[in-house]
Copies of this chain bind each other. A is one copy, B any other.
Amino acid sequence: MTGTILALAGGVGGAKLARGLADALDPGRLTVAVNTGDDFEHMGLPISPDLDTVMYTLAGRANPDTGWGVAGETWSFMEAVGDLGGETWFRLGDRDLATHVLRRRMLDRGATLSEATDALAGALGVRHRIVPMSDRAVRTVVETDEGTLPFQDYFVRRRCEPRVSTFRFEGIETATPSPGLSAALADPDLEAAVICPSNPYVSVAPIVGIPAVAEFIDAREVPVVAVSPIVGGQAIKGPAAKMMAELGAETSALGIARHYGGRIDGLVIDEVDAALAPDIAALDTAVHVVPTVMRSEEDSRVLARETLTFAARLR
């Protein structure tokens, strides 16, 4: 392949595959469009958790232990905020804080989130294009058995404990893709779209729910392939399996295939789920079975290459 690839990504799992794709593709060939439904303002600072996870990961600066945040992080700021009686439920590391303060500054001066992301990622040496799904605010809201919660209240403050009945994405109806995502969607050289192994409900749904992205996916002039975030009935990381169960879906790679339904051409599943391949194929979704758990950068590169080869086969 010599054309371009669009990756849709959320946080940690998405970032790992995005890094593999970045290693596999020349910078001009990859756009990573990132969920911003989790974004929120905290302590007056604009926090973009997924954008930053992808940025730090592609820059080689992600915390290897957590997958999010910055390697070598320190927490003096948070301690001092606690001493001053401020909110400490959402933890901002001292290094990470530089990203938020500089982003605040750029946005206050009129930059778009895309422009701020370009500047930050560029400063960290990221050569591939990382773009927010939209420069307009789309905000994930969680309907739970304890009422309506803003996403980070549900996700971080309440640790996903309330039972979910639905996710809503405020502002999505009128949201437009960011310029970088629009350009990727319209690129005549686009060869495939890859839905990274991110949470389908809270990371992927906001991106593919933007009307212009939904149209692109429904038209499907290029293959759309997803990598299952569910392996052996468990989420590699995060609450995807718990959400699936609460929403009445089967917590398996087959459940993922059913969730994406006719909107994807192919699904990459893990070897441990090989027995599900016939049922997934019966949904008219092509299946590719490979190791999908990314424990190392080499794992990410191998999975990225496998995914690209699979997508090329579906053209």
Contacts and interface: CB of A to CB of B under 8 A. Distances in A.
B80 A77 contact: no
Report which residue of A73, A96, A123 has the largest number of chain B beta carbons within 10 angstroms of its beta carbon.
Answer: A123
A81 interface: yes
Main secondary structure of the interface of A (DSSP, over half): helix
A43 B84 contact: no
27 contacts: A43-B101, A43-B102, A44-B104, A44-B108, A70-B80, A73-B76, A74-B74, A76-B93, A76-B95, A77-B95, A77-B97, A77-B98, A77-B101, A80-B94, A80-B98, A81-B98, A81-B101, A83-B98, A83-B123, A84-B99, A84-B120, A84-B123, A84-B124, A85-B119, A86-B98, A86-B101, A94-B94
Interface string A113-128: 0000001100110000
A79 B72 CA distance: 12
Contact of A81 (B74, B80, B102): B102
A72 B101 CA distance: 22
Contacts of A84: 98-99, 102, 120, 123-124
B97 A97 contact: yes
Given A84-B123, A123-B83, A76 B94 contact: yes
